[in-house]
Structure 1
Amino acid sequence: MNRRAWLVTGLLVVFQIINFADKAVLGLVADPAIRELGLTAGEFGMIGSSFFFLFAISAVVVGFVAARVPTKWLLLSMGVAWAVIQFPMLAGGGAAVLLVTRIMLGAAEGPATPITLQHVHGWFAPAERGLPSSLVAAGSTLGPIIAAPVLAWIIAHPELGWRWAFGFLGVLGLVWSLAWLLVGRDGPFSHTARRRGTAAAHPGLSAHDGGDVPSSASSPETRAGGAGGGTATAAGSPRGTSGSIADRADALGIVPIRRILGTRMFAVAVLAGAGCFWAQGFLTTWSPKYLSSIVAVSPEAIGALSTLPWIVGALALLALGYASRFLMRRGVTVRWALGALFGGTLLVSGVCFLLLPGLQGAAAIAVVTVGAGLAMIYPLAPTAVAFCVSSKQRAAVMATLTGLASLGGVVAPAMVGGLMDAAGYVPAPKGVKESAEMIARLGAGMDTSFWAIGVYLVLVGALSVLLLNPDRTGTRLQERFAFSG
């Protein structure tokens, strides 16, 4: 086993933990922040949505930059930026400062998932990428799991309070950045290594031989010809090859980006990803409020219960990662090993949201936990799409996918807050208990949003099972549009 590859993977898991803890903190401070800053539900929802205002633009721009700049430095820049942006709220910032810092944080975190996946893919051969990708993706669900109880304790502590939740995350980000500066580096299968000829020059080099390439890995050319059964063109793209695209993923030629973005598969991945981001936006902005007001959970228990959907998401990602690895090692195509598993899971998530309106107590907690948790599998979408794209283009394509899908995160907080306002909900002033009538109106607004996202997830889940097919899409792109570069 390559120790360096797994050490880097571990640091990237921590990176994703911090990434999603930064997102989750807003929901955890919702009640004290709304009351202290004098915000309505709609205004707070808009602040939650503001995180995604520049998220998409940043994800796309940095994705294209990653084709030329080593991802090690991009990840370091993001880590430092996340940390610094947290401190203005610790210093006493008001509603305007909260809005601006959330917009800035969204811009800094937009490229995180695609760049992280691009980096970890650079450390593993194509058929081995399912598990490390799922581990890194699981970090996104571990963030709220680990951070929520700690942040809830900080928020409830009389000498700290909700502002110190932001300060704690700032300090944590600086510590990670220092560790990454010392340990982080680009892997032997990265596009920067390919320019140096590292992976191709040492196809069988193991960690014990002093190299970083796993001993089981073969060169892209060998994998393309031997495993796929086809021949590679001068452009490095296998033509007329059948079977799984995973057998030749690192030998694919460059294809015009517009051709990739114009495929039916990419469109389905964007639509499905938007549903995942909707669930994420709900969890990071409104889930604690749902638990405290609708389910009547005590403040002491909110931190722990808020972690349950993320635990389900982490387990789902790990289970699906192992399943995809198992299937691809046995020759199953990426369509069934990743695309169909992703779509089927979203379909189940949608059914859960459709069952949620009107539920109370333990039943509501169980259904929202499973429904929202199963929607936390977005990283499987860019991982599947990456299999049909040249290694030089993966960061740009995955970042564009993430940027477009993140529009679901823009919609969710504002949509839920707007529906609550439309139902007549008015937050109680600081120190005043909410009336039963206001709680009922809050619930009516949330129930409407659950119906909408439930129907949407069922539809995009079914479409993903049918159309998220990297094997067919990758082969067609190579046959029609590939060129050397």
Structure 2
Amino acid sequence: MSETTADAPVLTRDEKKTIRIRWFLVGFLILGGVVNYLDRSTLSVANTTIAGEFGLDPFAMGLLLSAFSWPYAIANLPAGYLVDKFGPKKMFAFAAGAWSLVSIVTAAANSFGLLYACRVALGIAESPFFTSALKVNERWFNKSERALPVSLVNTGSQIANAIAPPLLTFLLLTMSWRGMFVIVGAFGIVVALVWLRIYRDPTLKEQALIKGAEAEARVAESVEKVGWAGLLRQANTWFMVLGAFGIFYTVWVYLTWLPSYLQTARGFSLAQSGWLASLPFLCGIVGVIFGGWLSNRLVRRGVATVRARKIPIVGGAILAAAAVLPVAYVDSTPLAVVLLSVGYFASQVPIGCLWTLASDVAPSNQVASLGAIQNFGGFIGAAVAPVVTGAILTSTGGNYTTVFLIGGVLLLVGALSYGLFVKDRSVAAS
């Protein structure tokens, strides 16, 4: 980013230094994403252990694994509105504190019902995090550079997914699954307290320096406010919901069933699967960063902003489908792991761009709201995926063929929805 623009006010050296806080904030949001997803991953890593302790079959475990996602999806709708209304500082701190307390309470659960209730509460508590992060990036970055920091924030989830299998497996084996929940919950309380200390919004001068003419356009745009319900009357919103559903469905098959798949279908031990399951998620870190980098590069080369977001989204979803579909028919374990790794890499290429796309097509006062509605669609897919997978495994005696076929098809649905039907419908583009 250029440090000055033609119409931007001149800042002192000290004022210019304050702009650099935005990258520090991105770094802290990455850390927040790591802690956020470690909380989500605890049940997946403890899948077979908890199933054995509570006597749960695959279908019951699928219900438990989905207990987080459906309340998370629904809670995203008010969460996006609340982030737009109260700002990311308060909402992120509230979310981190709440999800951490829920994780600690989960350690005391002694029945399926209590575990289920805790996962529901966790889904509600975590719902403001990514909408808060989107709001931070919308305030601190302009359109031409926003995809990369948004994608970087989303690498936090992928870093967590990569380190969760070995880290959480180690905690599980050394201090039981209950101790694992307590330790992970304590991390989030620290994150909430630090965030309250460090975060601030940019000043008016900083906004002018960061966004230039874009800031003036956003101010003019906000004069005519679109009602929150008005977002639901726009075609883009519904195709973004459908597209996110297709992509997130398959991502959450990975997140909830991969360790169990490696143990039951490929014969690895709990300790072995903890390390092996991290390989696809390490590839996912690269995928998220690549998607954001590619989108920013396309914008800077003159590609229209919405199209520059759609290219990584569509391309990534198609490549992921091409990798996931053959897994259903592969006998070789090394080849299956390679395909799963390529599939997860490709499925993460769209993730940062999905969030950035919401900030591109929504009015500035509704960025978090549209991002939340899109995330709602994605997490309906995330809620359905574990239950459908569990039902398939129960009815087929643990055969994963149909699981991978459905995942591949839904990735293609996501690609078509974003590629053909999500468009720049602004006056400037018409």
TM-score scaled by length of structure 2 = 0.90
Report the equivalent of 1:393: 366
Distance in 2 separating the partners of 1:96 and 1:365: 35
* 8 Å CA contact retained: 1:253, 1:390: no
Q: CA deviation at 1:386?
A: 1.8
| CA–CA separation in structure 2 for the residues paired with 1:284 and 1:368 | 12
Correspondences of 1:117-132 after superposition (within 5 Å): 117-132=134-149
Superposed CA offset, 1:193-233 (max 9, x none): xxxxx25x8623xxxxxxxxx4xx414356x5xxxxxxx9x
In the alignment, the residues of structure 1 paired with residue 160 and residue 374 of structure 2 have an alpha-carbon distance, to the nearest angstrom, of: 22
Partner of 2:86: helix, strand, or coil?
coil
Q: 2:382 aligns with which of 409, 420, 423?
A: 409
2:252 is aligned, of 281, 299, 315, to 281
Q: 1:274 to 1:252 in 2, by over 3 A?
A: farther
Moved more, 175-184 or 78-87: 175-184
Mapping for residues 332-411 of structure 1, pairs under 5 Å: 332-359=303-330, 360-376=332-348, 377-411=350-384
Q: How does 1:424-439 map to 2 (within 5 A)?
A: none
Amino acid in structure 1 at the alignment position of 2:156: G
Q: State the Cα RMSD in Å.
A: 2.2
Counterpart CA distance in 1 for 2:215 and 2:83 is 24
Q: Distance in 1 between matches of 2:223 and 2:272?
A: 51
| Cα deviation digits, residues 267-301 of structure 1 (max 9, x gap) | 22211211232123212221100011112223222
- Of all paired residues, the percent bearing the same amino acid is 25
User: 1:444-459 counterparts in 2 under 5 A?
Assistant: 444=399, 446-459=400-413
| Alignment-derived partner of residue 104 in structure 1 | 121
CA distance in 2, matches of 1:118, 1:151: 30
Measure the CA separation in 2 of the matches of 1:53 and 1:315: 28
Q: Which residue of 1 aligns with 2:6?
A: none
CA contact (8 A) 2:240 2:374 kept: yes
Tell me by how many angstroms 1:37 deviates: 0.9
Alignment of 1:12-411 (within 5 A): 12-157=29-174, 160-188=175-203, 198-199=204-205, 203-204=208-209, 214=210, 217-220=211-214, 224=217, 236-237=220-221, 253-359=224-330, 360-376=332-348, 377-411=350-384
CA contact (8 A) 1:353 1:368 kept: yes
Structure 1 residue 41 displacement after superposition: 0.8
Q: CA deviation at 1:112?
A: 2.0
Letter in 1 for 2:409: V
Report the Cα offset of residue 33 of structure 1: 0.6
Q: Which moved more, 1:107-116 or 1:31-40?
A: 107-116
Q: Is the 8 A contact 1:346 1:375 kept in 2?
A: yes
Residues 367-420 of structure 1: CA distance to partner in whole angstroms, max 9, x if unpaired?
122223322333422311321211111111111111122100111000000111
* Number of corresponding residues: 411
1 CA distance for matches of 2:128 and 2:88?
11
The structural deviation recorded for 1:337 is 1.2
**Conservation of the 8 A alpha-carbon contact between 1:154 and 1:162:** yes
Map of 1:475 onto structure 2 = 427
**What is the distance in 2 between the residues matched to 1:407 and 1:92?**
26
The 1-side partners of 2:148 and 2:305 are apart by 14
What's the TM-score, normalizing by structure 1?
A: 0.80
Summarize the Cα distance change of 1:401–1:149 in structure 2 as closer, same or farther, 3 Å threshold: same
Give the distance between the partners of 2:419 and 2:352, measured in 1 at CA.
16
Which letter maps to 1:141?
Q
**Deviation of residue 89 (structure 1)?**
3.0
Distance 1:57 1:462, change over 3 A: closer
SS in 1 for 2:368: helix
Q: Which amino acid letter does the alignment assign opposite residue 408 of structure 2?
A: G
Opposite residue 62 of structure 1, the aligned amino acid is A
Amino acid at match of 1:283: Y
Question: Aligned partners of 2:358 and 2:181: how far apart in 1?
Answer: 35
Amino acid at match of 1:127: S
Counterpart of 1:447 in structure 2: which amino acid? T
Alignment gaps of 5+ in structure 2:
1-16
Cα distance in 1 between the residues matched to 2:370 and 2:422: 15
Q: Is the 8 A contact 1:252 1:388 kept in 2?
A: no
CA contact (8 A) 1:56 1:402 kept: yes
Question: Does the aligned pair in 2 maintain the 1:48–1:281 contact within 8 Å?
Answer: no
* Structure 2 residue identity aligned to 1:331: G
Q: 2:69 is paired with a residue of what secondary structure? A: coil
Note the residue ranges of structure 1 that are not aligned, 5 or more in a row.
189-197, 205-213, 225-231, 238-250, 424-440, 480-485
Distance of 1:253 and 1:310 partners within structure 2: 43
- Mapped to 1, the partners of 2:171 and 2:280 lie a distance apart of 21
Per-residue CA deviation, residues 337-386 of structure 1 (Å, 9 max, x unaligned), is 11122111101111222111132310111112222332233342231132
Return the alpha-carbon distance in structure 2 between the equivalents of residues 254 and 275 of structure 1.
Answer: 31
Rg larger for: 1
Shift of 1:62: 1.6
The secondary structure found in structure 2 opposite 1:387 is helix
- Report the Cα distance in structure 2 between the residues aligned to 1:182 and 1:58, rounded to whole angstroms: 26
Bigger Cα displacement from structure 2, 364-373 vs 348-357: 364-373
Deviating more after overlay: 321-330 vs 408-417: 321-330
Distance in 1 (alpha carbons) for counterparts of 2:230 and 2:97: 35
- Decide which moves more: 411-420 or 345-354: 345-354
CA distance in 1, matches of 2:232, 2:356: 15
Q: Return the alpha-carbon distance in structure 2 between the equivalents of residues 252 and 329 of structure 1.
A: 29
More helix as a share of residues: 2
Question: Matched residues in 2 for 1:92 and 1:119: separation?
Answer: 35
- Give the secondary structure class of the aligned counterpart of 1:81: helix
